[in-house]
Amino acid sequence: MGDQVTDAGWWSDAVGYEVYLRSFADSDGDGIGDLPGLISRLDHLADLGVDIVWVTPFYPSPMADFGYDVADHTGVDPRFGTIDDLDRLVAAVHERDMRLLIDLVPNHTSDQHEWFRSALADPASPYRDFYIWRDGAPDGGPPNNWRSHFGGPAWTMDEASGQWWCHLFLPEQPDLNWANPGVRAAFEGIITHWLARGVDGFRIDVAHSLVKHPSFADNPVLVEVGPDASASEAFGAMRHDHDLDQPGTLDIYRDWHRLAREHDAVLLGEVYLDSAEAVGAYVADGVLDLSFFFPVLHTTWDPEVLRHVVTATLTHGRGRFAWVHSSHDDPRAPTRFGGGERGRRRALSFLAFTALLPGPLFLYQGDELGLVDGEVDPASASDPVAVRNTNPDGGRDPVRTPMPWSPDAPNLGFSTGTPWLPMPANHTAADTVEAQRADPGSTLHAVRRLLRTRRERRPGTDPVELLAEGPAEVLGYRRGDVLVVLNAGDRSVAVPLPGPVELAFSNGTVDVGSGRAVLEPDAVAVMDVTT
């Protein structure tokens, strides 16, 4: 189903793993995860079956948005280590036959970046036009009605000049002006710098937002919201005709694509659009190599919702949409799917269902443990989405709590000091890597078996044939000699088989025999068709 990629690279069927650096592993007891800590835990990722390690920003930053407000795109923040540590990470990843992706943040910088500090200090500075400045509205308010993802207007006034700067995120994250050739040249230099140091590609933050419409017109309002609306509700209350997904954005990536090809590197976009067709344009030939498709991250446990998102991905992704189930910005899959043991079972089953579909598969740290969202006391909240808005809904702290490693160590092995975000009470000794490694029935062992099953089969370019018949609760497909079936309903179901099969992987009770597979609710079966 859907055309498949013809120029697939090493990334086309890889398994990726997102490391949220400040919460992964702390080596020096300051409560913040760092590069040496990550290096010390790479064997866990290699043993799991990971091919790509994606690490979130390690650049110098005031940490208004925990590293996504970059003050120097070619350095390393001392809280995370040194440039030598980064070089050691590159070498250690490669020694384990894995590849390293790093975050590139091109939509905005920190307000402490030397470019913005110069632009703010002197309107005649050559860096003034590196950013987006507009005069205010006739009533003295912002230039237009654009909203910030993080709450409030997307504009802040510079009292000295009387102009406003644009920021689709925090005021401390001024948006760059991609109409300026100097910005384009600067980022090509940044990309070349890191490729020369041996990184294997980039995850591009907010990849759909770089270019703004030159009219800077108001966005159409879809529904009026009150002052108590959450940041996401307010942002979603308008149609983003002028600030997102603008013409010219793909041209930037065509230039980057040529640079990446010189180093056999990959470009992976965070294209946060709901339309599979729109995201598909970003992974056309010669643009980005891959993109996440975020509706997968927002699915509920409903067979029609799951079927729709899978079909949309297959139709428009061409094998270039990377399957992802949790992230540092979105609720974890077990929580989305109901929480508790049932949420964990459903999350593992859907992970297994997508594992044999075209495209890379990405885990977020803790997915291999079946972690649910951490319980964070509001008094300990750190995420600006939560602490800067009257309505804290959408705060991301629960998915950013520290990684649990050891049942017997302080802070479950994350740090010997006080973690930057408290260890959640609902993450226990049984959730740790060491405890699950010792338990053959754990989620960790199941995920390891699943990734081995995936690696042994690698259907390559075999087309996907969706099952057209069967109970409404069932999702299924065949690729070559592999048959995958998921029961997303609340009753056991029987699915007819095309012939003799051998069960390669299952989660939940599955009975294969007499020409049919019987699956209990929430169960998945990966089968080899033997004739």
Q: Domain 1-106+181-211+252-266 adopts which CATH fold?
A: TIM Barrel (3.20.20)
Task: Tell me if domain 1-106+181-211+252-266 and domain 114-166 are identical in fold.
Answer: no
Residues 159, 224, 262, 469: which is the catalytic one? 262
| pLDDT, position 458 | 79
Q: Distance between CA atoms of 332 and 321, rounded to whole angstroms? A: 19
Q: Whole-model pTM? A: 0.97
Going from N- to C-terminal start, the domains of the chain cover: 1-106+181-211+252-266, 114-166, 460-529
CA dist list (Å): 241 to 145, 185, 204, 212: 12, 27, 21, 10
Q: Is 181 exposed, middle or buried (0-12, 13-18, 19+ CB in 10 A)?
A: exposed
Residues 205, 243, 373, 383: which is the catalytic one? 205
| pLDDT, position 368 | 98
> Do the Cβ atoms of 293 and 329 come closer than 8 Å?
no
> Do the Cβ atoms of 437 and 31 come closer than 8 Å?
no
| pLDDT, position 281 | 98
Q: Distance between CA atoms of 172 and 68, rounded to whole angstroms? A: 10
Residue 311: Cβ within 10 Å count? 16
Strands 474-479 and 465-466: antiparallel
Q: Domain 460-529 adopts which CATH fold?
A: Immunoglobulin-like (2.60.40)
Q: Distance between CA atoms of 158 and 33, rounded to whole angstroms? A: 35
Q: Tens digit of pLDDT per residue, the chain (531 long)? A: 655 554 579 999 999 999 999 999 999 999 999 999 999 999 999 999 999 999 999 999 999 999 999 999 999 999 999 999 999 999 999 999 999 999 999 999 999 999 999 999 999 999 999 999 999 999 999 999 999 999 999 999 999 999 999 999 999 999 999 999 999 999 999 999 999 999 999 999 999 999 999 999 999 999 999 989 999 999 999 999 999 999 999 999 999 999 999 999 999 999 999 999 999 999 999 999 999 999 999 999 999 999 999 999 999 999 999 999 999 999 999 999 999 999 999 999 999 999 999 999 999 999 999 999 999 999 999 999 999 999 999 999 999 999 999 999 999 999 999 999 999 999 999 999 999 999 999 999 999 999 999 999 977 778 999 998 778 999 999 999 999 999 999 999 999 999 999 999 999 999 998 899 999 999 999 999 998
| pLDDT, position 125 | 98
Class of CATH domain 114-166: alpha beta
**Residue 205 annotated among the catalytic residues of the structure:** yes
Residue 469: Cβ within 10 Å count? 8
> Do the Cβ atoms of 379 and 387 come closer than 8 Å?
no
**Residues 171-222 pLDDT 10s:** 999 999 999 999 999 999 999 999 999 999 999 999 999 999 999 999 999 9
Secondary structure in 3-state letters for 384-409: HHHHCCCCCCCCCHHHCCCCCCCCCC
| pLDDT, position 2 | 55
